[in-house]
Chain A
Amino acid sequence: MRMARPAPARAATIVMMAAFVATVVGCSKKPDPNPAADPMQPAQTSIYAVNYPLSYFAERIAPADVRVVFPVPREIDPAFWKPSADAVREYQAASLILLNGAGYARWTSYATLPQAQIVVTADGCRDTYLRTERSVRHQHGPEGTHAHSDLAFTTWLDLRLAVCQASHIRDALIERMPTAKDSVSAGFETLARDLLDLDERLRNLGQALGNQPLLASHPVYQYFADAYGISIQSLHLEPDRELSDDDWKEVDAMLERERANWMLWEAPPLAATEARLRERGVTTVVVDPAGQSPSEGDFLSVMRANVARLECATGVKPCR
């Protein structure tokens, strides 16, 4: 008699298959992430700066093969720029991120940036930062009063401070590119010489001016005034806007308090504004803080022009 044997054969097959599947599942290796393809790693040496002066310093100091980027559109004041997430991602990918310090570029306080790449260039250059004249302090809840962003931030207008900022860029570059130490140091030396020459001229100007006060259209000259011993009273006027009656009242009130002969502007004011100021015995002098890249020339040429205009207007040196 022949016996049918399909059942044990089927059972054995099922058991074998189950064992095979379990073995394959059990022995499969976990995927290993590939660190080399990490998108968060910088692809090449690049320096991103938050304002034009820092970008200029970096260009002067860094070796030629380093890419220096200042991505803020020309029509926007870098101090108040609000970058997109994509722009922040660009900064994140940089080998070095140059911040100014003193609360400059507020976006850096809420953007996520890699700490290891950040150099706050003005930190450690002064004991304390200067404060703006007008900052609204407020109180809500039990924490006491506080104010937002009340630090003056145009630090580079004190050219010795600018040299200090540049020295921090030099140090960061040498740390990251020790083989380029000589060229970085040489670049810094020539930059420092250029800036200190101008600094010397401004110190002479400050001494020549003595106690004579100056007006300023905007509160951006705090470090300039502090460094060169110049008394500057600031208003809140825009060079490209016609001044209102209230503005003129404010100017007149200021002139009554401080008999100033010169008024500093970030950019040339409207001709009408200039004429009405002249009627009041005030000469306008353009001192461009150069926070944004100029349409012509570079940081040094802008600063040289600033100094020449000041020397000319105040009679410290003959006008050219």
Chain B
Amino acid sequence: MRDSIYLAWRYLRHHRTKTLLLVLSLSVFLGLPLIMRAMSHATQQSLLSRAEATPLLLGKKGSSLDLVVETLYFQLKGAEPITKADVDALQATGLALGIPIRTGLMARGFPLVGTSLDYFPFRKLRMTEGRGLAMMGECILGAEAAEALGLGPGDALLTSPSTLFDLAGVYPLKLHVVGVLEPSYGPDDAAVFVDLRTAWVAEGMGHGHQDLSSAGPDVVLKRKEGTVTANAKLVQYNEITESNVDSFHFHGDPSSYPVTAAIVVPHDEKSGVLLRGRFVDAETRQLVRPAQVVDSLNKQIFRFERVLRIVVWTVGLATAVMFVLVMVLSWRLRAEELRTMKRLGCSRWKAAQIMGSEIALMVGASVLLAGVFGIVMAQYGETWLQTLILRGS
């Protein structure tokens, strides 16, 4: 038997192009369903585990999927915001902890997430470098964002302008990186976290400027009855530092400022039920269970997977037919070779063993290749597929 395997191996090595093509075709045929299944399972689990770890979400009435995707995975979907007052009111019920989430801006390609300190222990995020947020103007980077940008504590990061050609719009805010989070293998890795008020400043709802009470005539248009009117020369700060942080302020009532959604963490099961009851008939707000929303998304993915499976099996069948055809043609072409083997004293059984070994080696190599590829994709393709699905939904 060993001799047969050796001869089969030498033959396959000699015809390496043909062998390689056949092995690759077979690998694709065998691997595709495996890869698809593994990745789909991993993605569904990953999506579901984050959703299940988020008890409830409070947001504006509308698409619950957009709300969940934007708040949990930081993919900008244009979910209508609620206000900070909604989060405060929720907190005031004493039934749950409300963690505000403000998305909408980017910082060098990574989503800028404005939130409160409660977010970090809630998601079990820990620092690997530096410290947590302490002052307005500071940011914490997710592990992936820090690595991609090559930034760490002590560095600075500019927010991306929301409208590139709007000269009168909001200018980028320079953020001070104070910490980097440990990898969490989720959307938090690719996010830039700031205090909620820093997010509002970055959006242009708050600002800091030089002290007008002591400003010179080149800046002041008029002073009248305790009111100072400044002209366009007034220096507005694009960076929050220890020396100018005092001058930053918000016009209007910050409780009316936008919050994309609030993660709602009920104190106990009863509180959760009571809260859900309060929002059943709410006209402009919704309290959704992310696990339910993601579950329905997973069902859609599963339906799509079934269609794909039919396509894959069709392609697989064609590949198998092609493989058989190639082998039959190959044996016909090798008729002279088989005759020579017979003249040398090789039995028909031995010849069949050699041919069988060739097929077994090729199928074996294809199975291995497909298996390795499937495992690697399940491990590393998860985030890629997750992003692909969420961006496309």
Contact A89-B134, Cβ < 8 Å, known A30-B185, A116-B97:
yes
- Once the chains bind, are B227 and A139 in contact (CB under 8 Å)? yes
Task: Check B126–A38 contact: CB distance below 8 A.
Answer: yes
B149 at the interface (CB under 8 A from A): no
Interface string of A155-175 (1 = CB under 8 A from B): 000000000000000000001
User: Residue B77 at the A interface, CB < 8 A?
Assistant: no
Main secondary structure on A side of the interface with B: mixed
In the complex, chain B residues whose CB is within 8 Å of the CB of A115: 91, 116-118
The residue in chain A whose Cβ has the minimal distance to the Cβ of B226 is: A137
B117 touches A5 (CB 8 A): no
Which residues of the other chain, A, contact B3 by a CB distance below 8 angstroms? 3
Q: Given contacts A3-B3, A114-B116, are A145 and B125 in contact (CB under 8 A)?
A: no
Of A19, A41, A138, which one neighbours B212 at CB under 8 angstroms?
Answer: A138
The 3 tightest CB contacts between A and B, nearest first, are: A26-B375, A140-B230, A138-B228
B20 to chain A, nearest CB (A): 14
What chain B residues lie within 8 Å of A31 (beta carbons)? 183
A33: chain B residues at CB < 8 Å are 124-126, 182, 184
Give the contacts of B175-194 with A (CB-CB under 8 A). 178, 182-185
Write the A3-27 contact mask toward B (1 if CB under 8 angstroms, else 0).
1010110010001001100110111
A116 to B10, CA, bound (A): 73
Residues of A within 8 A of B258 (CB): none
- A127 CB-CB contact with B under 8 Å: no
Contact of B132 among A92, A106, A136, A143 (CB under 8 A): A92
Contact, CB under 8 Å: B379 / A140: no
A23 cross-chain contacts in B, Cβ below 8 A: 375
Which one of A15, A19, A38, A109 contacts B121 once the chains associate, using CB atoms below 8 Å?
A: A38
Q: What are some 17 contacts across the A-B interface (CB < 8 A)? A: A15-B365, A25-B375, A31-B183, A33-B182, A40-B120, A40-B121, A85-B134, A110-B248, A111-B134, A136-B213, A136-B227, A138-B212, A138-B227, A138-B229, A139-B228, A146-B249, A148-B249
Query: B10, B120, B184, B245: which contacts A110 (Cβ < 8 A)?
Result: B245
B92 to chain A, nearest CB (A): 11
A88 interface residue (CB < 8 Å to B): yes
Partner of B251, one of A18, A88, A89, A146: A146
8 Å CB contacts to B: which residues of A113-130? 113-116
Query: Is residue B133 contacting chain A, with contact meaning CB distance below 8 A?
Result: yes
Residues of the A chain whose Cβ atoms lie less than 8 Å from the Cβ of B5: 8
Q: Are A140 and B229 in contact (CB under 8 A)?
A: yes
A89 and B135 in contact, given A40-B120, A114-B116, A145-B227 (Cβ under 8 angstroms):
no
* A-chain residues with CB within 8 Å of residue B116 when the two chains form the complex: 112, 114-115
A35 at the interface (CB under 8 A from B): yes
Q: Find chain A residues with CB under 8 A from B226 CB.
A: 134-137
Q: Any chain A CB within 8 A of the CB of B318?
A: no
Residues 364-381 (chain B) with a chain A CB within 8 angstroms: 365, 368, 371-372, 375-376, 378-379
**Binary contact track A221-252/B, C-beta < 8 Å → 1, others 0:** 00000000000000000000000000000000
The interface residues of chain B lying within 8 Å CB-to-CB of A106 are: 246
A231 to B195, CA, bound (A): 43
List 11 extra interface pairs beyond A22-B375, A26-B379, A92-B134, CB under 8 A.
A3-B3, A25-B375, A26-B375, A33-B184, A38-B126, A40-B120, A112-B132, A116-B91, A136-B226, A136-B227, A140-B234
Q: Are B6 and A116 in contact (CB under 8 A)?
A: no
Chain A residues within an 8 Å CB radius of B183: 31
* Residue of A with least CB distance to B373: A22
**Is the C-beta of A82 less than 8 angstroms from some C-beta in chain B?**
yes
Chain B residue contacts of A139, Cβ below 8 A: 227-230
Choose among B9, B124, B249 the residue that contacts A38 (Cβ–Cβ < 8 A): B124
Q: Give B17-58 as 1s and 0s: 1 = Cβ < 8 Å from A's Cβ atoms.
A: 000000000000000000000000000000000000000000
Most buried by A among B125, B133, B195, B376: B133
Q: Which positions 111-169 of chain B face chain A at CB distance < 8 Å?
A: 116-118, 120-121, 124-127, 131-136, 138
Contacts of A140 in B (CB 8 A): 209, 212, 229-231, 234
